[in-house]
Amino acid sequence: NDESAQKAIEKLNGMLLNDKQVYVGPFLRRQERENAIDKTRFTNVYVKNLAESTTDEDLKNIFGQYGQITSAVVMRDIDGKSKCFGFVNFENADDAAKAVEALNGQKFDDKEWYVGKAQ
């Protein structure tokens, strides 16, 4: 019953099992878990499938339409060549979420961007 389950959770959650701390909680279907994760607030956005010519400034201009940005960077290899992905950090979590919603799947320079919460 619910009471027994709650007691088990309280007793076992956080305990060590084979030198590993375990999480014990109520059962949630995968979809429910993923929805809970998606609703967490975040300010750091990951963007991939950028054109090689996309610059930090391009990211600032495009993402800046959705709110104040603290940083925007295209990742590059040791020779300065674009790795075709980057990160944009917003001051405000709501602005980050708006940018993800608006820009994910949009095409820039004939490349469809994947835009999401940075892990």
Instruction: Dump pLDDT digits (tens) for 36-82.
Output: 655 567 899 999 999 999 999 999 999 999 999 999 999 999 999 99
Q: How far does Cα 51 stand from its chain's mean position? A: 21
Q: How far does Cα 33 stand from its chain's mean position? A: 15
What CATH code is carried by the domain that includes residue 49? 3.30.70.330
- CA-based torsion, 107, 119, 97, 23: positive or negative: positive
pTM (global) more than 0.75 = no
Residue 92 DSSP one-character state? S
Domain membership of residue 34 as a residue range:
2-38
| Residues 83 and 75 sit within 8 Å (Cβ to Cβ) | yes
Banded model confidence at residue 19, pLDDT cuts 50, 70, 90: confident
* 82 in the same domain as 32: no
Question: What are the structure tokens assigned to 67, written together?
Answer: 């709110």
Considering its fold, how many domains does the chain have in total?
Answer: 2
* 33 in the same domain as 63: no
Q: Say yes or no to pLDDT of 86 above 80.
A: yes
Nearest one of 91, 38, 41 to 67, comparing CA atoms? 91
* 58 in the same domain as 18: no
* 24 in the same domain as 48: no
89-106 pLDDT tens trace: 999 999 999 999 999 999
* 74 in the same domain as 53: yes
* 66 in the same domain as 11: no
